[in-house]
Amino acid sequence: MYDSFSVIPAVDMQDGEVVQLVGGERDTGTQYGDPVEAAERWVDAGAEILHLVDLDGAFEGERVNADAVEAIVEAVDVPVQVGGGIRTASDAGDLLSLGVDRVILGTAAVEDPDIVTRISEMYADSVIVSLDAKDGEVVVDGWTEGTGLDPAEAAGRYEELGAAGILFTDVDVEGQLTGVRRGPIEAVTEAVEIPVIASGGVATLDDIRTLREVGAAAVVVGTALYEGKFTLEAAMSV
């Protein structure tokens, strides 16, 4: 899925709308319209992968925007990775059977690490573990609860359990257009051999270059694209 460095547009959904949260805080988001329309727009602009997040699901612990996810999968012809509210192997299986290419596990992977192995054994190369870091520790439940886990150490553990990739989100700069922080993502990329997808803080094309330089396999971009800081085409050309 990440044969070369990929720029992945984010379609984060809350209450049926595309939103981008600031610092992971609920109800801080700017709305950007219909999720299916956004997904189609990014594909038309050249997106080769889409990143979908059910934010309501992340906060509530169950998938809330399932209909929108299904509509997007039916509407586009590029690989789709989905996170938010996936708490069981059954949840993951439903999405993968639907046509989702990879599921993203955050809270579920922290609470039950072996779920990564169980899903991977049923659906090879299908699990991305989301490590969202705030103040240097992994946080869960919609970025509201600390775990005490170090992101780099946790990444190595999930690689051993069969994760196909790690999604590392720097929550401290998420949605703020303040630029990426090299150190946190570099620590994770150096800890594992599997692909690491970076997220959080991207504001300029130089941020994308930095992430590529530190070994990220891909970057998820949200606010910067929706606010027109640069085009997807320009980002993919970095």
CB neighbour burial string for 144-177, b if at least 16 within 10 angstroms, e if fewer = eeebebbbbebbbbbbebbbbbbbbbbbbbbbeb
Rounded Cα distance between 103 and 41, Å, is 22
* Residue 195 · residue 166 · CB < 8 Å: yes
Catalytic residue from among 54, 91, 101, 132: 132
3 state SS of 35: helix
CA count, 13 A, side-chain hemisphere, 18 = 22
Q: Would you give the DSSP letter of residue 151?
A: H
Q: Is 22 exposed, middle or buried (0-12, 13-18, 19+ CB in 10 A)?
A: middle
34 is catalytic: no
* Residue 66 · residue 148 · CB < 8 Å: no
Catalytic residue from among 12, 54, 91, 101: 12
* Residue 210 · residue 182 · CB < 8 Å: yes
* Residue 187 · residue 214 · CB < 8 Å: no
132 is catalytic: yes
Which residues are known catalytic residues?
12, 132
